[in-house]
Each structure stands twice: as structure tokens, then as C-alpha cells.
């Protein structure tokens, strides 16, 4: 019985990110002598949810095949945050409009990214990076760096907790489950997986390859836009550099979570494990009293180690 469970778990790539998360958490509370274990988890869930949302978008993009990546996520978050906080102007009634605008910004950025890739035949890494300069500049020109408070209801919602569990994290969990279903059981999800394995074979199997790619870049940018709105609610207003850390984080959670960088194989639960791991890693190093420089070096080394371990089984195929 136990042997069965163990061998089942060994086959799941996401298990590594959760094991790493558990190890880091244990190390932290052993160091503090068991103090604050719960609070650390609450904080981890509160912050990790933003990485999860953009990470899922990035996962779909990376799964559509080698070379596909969305580097415009941070800029889209910044633009969405700047535009929506100004638009909502601290009024609760305008939240719904703000959400629509955040998603609309995502759609525009996604379509723009796709057009650069498709019409101008620019590699995605360069197309999304150059698009992100345009988007970021728009955010700067539009927001002028003013920090506007979010509507109170949005701030309450993004910081609310039920018995120490952030409401946003619960919503995120439901969202993750839905996206897992989308990937495995919808025509769009299957198309993404097929295109990621072999674009030509997917075309010949009757899949609309270009529509799949367009929808994927749109999805990623829409999630970035939504995440920008939620993050500005969570942190009491938007700032132009609030998306910065999500450039590496969105890619790292995809890879650590067990999604194949070569495309065609995605891993939804792994995104959660990896996002929690990234947050707890920083917490642990802070608790140990590591200096900023040392913290970054150790984070880098540990991420490399986990990616190597998580990807180890896959490379044998």
C-alpha cells in the first residue's frame, strides 16, 4: 500500500516542489524554535498567490513549445495597476469596471505580442521583451509615478483571511483547479499540449495552431493584468516597479513546478509548490539573518539545485 503511494508520488513531477517547500519551512521553524510557523504559512499564501496567477499564464505560454515565453508580464502588471487604480479612483462601485479594464489591457498586450511574433516573425523572447518596453513606458507616461490608493473593498478583499487562510489564496486554488481542467479536458488545452510537442504534426492533425498561440499569449497577458490589479489592492496602491520580481519568478515557478521547458507537458499543481517554495526560501534566509547579497546568491543556487532535481527524471526520456 505505502509502496504504491510512494511510487505514484515519484511519478509526479510536482512532488519535488512541495517537498522542497516543506523542507524550507521546517528549517525555518526549527531555527525559530517553533515560533511563527503558522504566520509564515499565511504570509506565504498571501504573497505566493500573485506568483501563481502569472505563473499559470507563463506555464501555458511555455507549454506551447520551445522558444515561447512571455517577458512582458511585469510591464503588463505595472500598466494594469497604474491604469485601474487611477480609473477606480478609490470608489468601490468602479471595481467591476477596473477588472474589465485590467483584462482588456491584457487582451491588447497579448494580441500585440502575438502580432509581433506572427507578422514580423520576431522570436517570442525578443517580441515580448520589446513589447514590454512599450507597455512599461505607457505606464510611466500614464501614471507619472503617482500612487493612488485602491478602493477600500478591493483592499479588504485582497487582504481578507478566514482562519489564517487568505481568501485570495482560496479563490486562487479554485482558479488553479479550473485551469487544470482546461488543460486536460478542453479542446484548447489539448491544442496547447499538441502544439507544444510538434507544431507541424498539430497542424496536420487539424488543430488551429495560430489561434491556439494567440489565445495563449492573450491568456498570459490577461492574467498579468488581473494580477496587477489585485497586487495594487493588496499593497495599498500600484507602483511602476511592482511587477519586476515576477519576471524571473513566473518562469522559475513553471520550471521548478515540473513543466517541461521543451513544451508539450504542463504541471498545474507544481506551480503552487514552486511559488510557496520561492517565498519561503526568502523567508528562511531572512530568518537566518543572511545579508541581502548572500540571500540572493543562496536563492539563485537553491533554485538551480531544485530545477536540476525536478528536471532530472525527465531528461532520461
Partner 1 sequence: MTRPPQQIVDLTDVAMSFGAVRALAGVDLAVAAGECVGLVGHNGAGKSTLVNVLAGGLIPDRGRIKVAGEDITHRFNVRTAHQHGIRCVFQELSLCPNLTVAENARIFHARLRGMSWKRRAAALIGAKLDEIFPGHDILPHDIIGDLSIGRRQMVEIARAFTVTVEPLDLVILDEPTSSLDAVTAGQLLAFVRRQVAMGTSVILISHMLGEVLGTCSRIVVMKDGGVVAAKPAAAFNRESLVSAMGTVVEVQGVAPRPEIAGSRQGEVMVEARSRRQLNDRKLVAHRGEVIGLAGLAGHGQTRMLLQIFAAAGKGDLFAEVRGPVAIIAGDRQTDGIFPLWSIGQNVTIRSLRGMVRRLLIDSDQERAMAATWQQKMRIKTPNMDDNILTLSGGNQQKALFARALGSDAGIVLMDDPMRGVDVGTKIEVYDRIRQEAAGGRTFLWYTTEIDELKYCDHVYVFRNGIIVDDIPRDELTEARVLSASFHEAA
| Residues near partner 1, by CB under 8 A | 181, 185-187, 190, 193-194, 197-198, 200-202, 204-207, 260, 264-265
Q: Which is nearer to partner 1, 148 or 193 (CB)?
A: 193
**Separate counts of helices (H) and strands (E) for the chain:** 14, 2
d(CA 42, CA 40): 5
Phi/psi of residue 161, nearest 5 degrees: -135, 145
Report in angstroms how near the CB of residue 93 gets to partner 1 at its nearest.
32
Q: Least distance to partner 1 from the beta carbon of 197, Å?
A: 5
Between 30 and 205, whose beta carbon lies closer to partner 1? 205
Q: Which residue has the cell 491544442?
A: 191
Query: CA torsion 278→193→131→210, rounded to 10°?
Result: -170
**Shortest distance, CB of residue 178 to partner 1, whole angstroms?**
11
Sign of CA dihedral 178, 225, 71, 232: negative
Distances (CA, A) of 303 to 28, 72, 133, 242, 266: 17, 22, 27, 22, 19
Q: Which is nearer to partner 1, 144 or 211 (CB)?
A: 211
CB of 203 to partner 1, least distance (A): 9
Shortest Å distance, C-beta 15 to partner 1: 19
Give the nearest distance from C-beta 204 to partner 1 in angstroms. 5
Closest to 54 measured CA to CA, from 274, 239, 262, 240: 274
The smaller minimum CB distance to partner 1, of residues 69 and 207, is found at 207
Burial grade of 191 (CB within 10 A; 0-12, 13-18, 19 or more): buried
The candidate with the shortest Cα–Cα distance to 252, out of 244, 261, 243, is 261
d(CA 106, CA 220): 8
- Which C-beta is closer to partner 1: that of 194 or that of 230? 194
Amino acid at each position: 500500500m505505502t509502496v504504491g503511494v510512494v511510487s505514484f508520488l515519484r511519478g509526479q513531477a510536482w512532488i519535488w516542489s512541495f517537498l522542497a517547500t516543506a523542507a524550507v519551512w521546517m528549517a525555518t521553524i526549527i531555527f525559530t524554535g517553533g515560533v511563527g510557523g503558522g504566520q509564515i504559512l499565511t504570509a506565504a499564501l498571501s504573497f505566493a498567490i500573485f506568483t501563481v496567477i502569472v505563473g499559470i499564464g507563463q506555464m501555458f505560454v511555455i507549454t506551447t513549445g520551445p522558444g515561447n515565453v512571455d517577458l512582458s508580464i511585469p510591464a503588463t502588471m505595472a500598466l494594469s495597476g497604474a491604469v485601474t487604480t487611477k480609473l477606480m479612483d478609490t470608489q468601490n462601485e468602479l471595481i467591476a469596471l477596473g477588472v474589465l479594464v485590467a483584462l482588456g489591457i491584457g487582451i491588447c498586450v497579448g494580441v500585440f505580442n502575438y502580432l509581433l511574433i506572427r507578422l514580423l516573425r520576431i522570436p517570442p523572447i525578443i517580441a515580448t521583451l520589446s513589447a514590454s518596453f512599450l507597455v512599461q513606458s505607457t505606464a510611466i507616461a500614464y501614471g507619472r509615478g503617482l500612487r493612488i490608493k485602491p478602493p477600500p473593498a478591493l483592499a479588504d478583499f485582497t487582504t481578507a483571511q478566514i482562519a489564517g487562510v487568505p481568501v485570495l489564496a482560496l479563490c486562487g486554488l479554485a482558479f488553479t483547479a479550473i485551469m487544470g481542467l482546461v488543460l486536460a479536458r478542453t479542446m484548447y488545452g489539448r491544442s496547447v499540449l499538441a502544439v507544444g510537442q510538434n507544431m507541424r504534426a498539430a497542424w496536420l492533425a487539424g488543430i488551429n495552431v495560430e489561434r491556439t498561440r494567440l489565445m495563449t499569449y492573450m491568456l498570459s497577458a490577461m492574467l498579468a493584468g488581473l494580477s496587477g490589479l489585485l497586487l495594487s489592492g493588496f499593497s495599498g496602491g500600484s507602483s511602476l516597479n511592482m511587477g519586476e520580481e515576477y519576471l524571473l519568478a513566473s518562469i522559475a515557478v513553471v520550471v521548478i513546478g515540473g513543466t517541461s521547458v521543451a513544451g508539450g507537458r504542463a504541471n498545474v499543481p507544481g506551480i503552487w509548490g514552486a511559488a510557496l517554495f520561492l517565498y519561503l526560501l526568502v523567508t528562511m534566509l531572512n530568518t537566518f539573518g543572511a545579508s541581502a547579497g548572500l540571500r540572493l546568491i543562496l536563492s539563485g543556487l537553491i533554485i538551480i539545485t531544485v530545477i536540476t532535481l525536478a528536471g532530472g527524471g525527465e531528461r532520461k526520456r
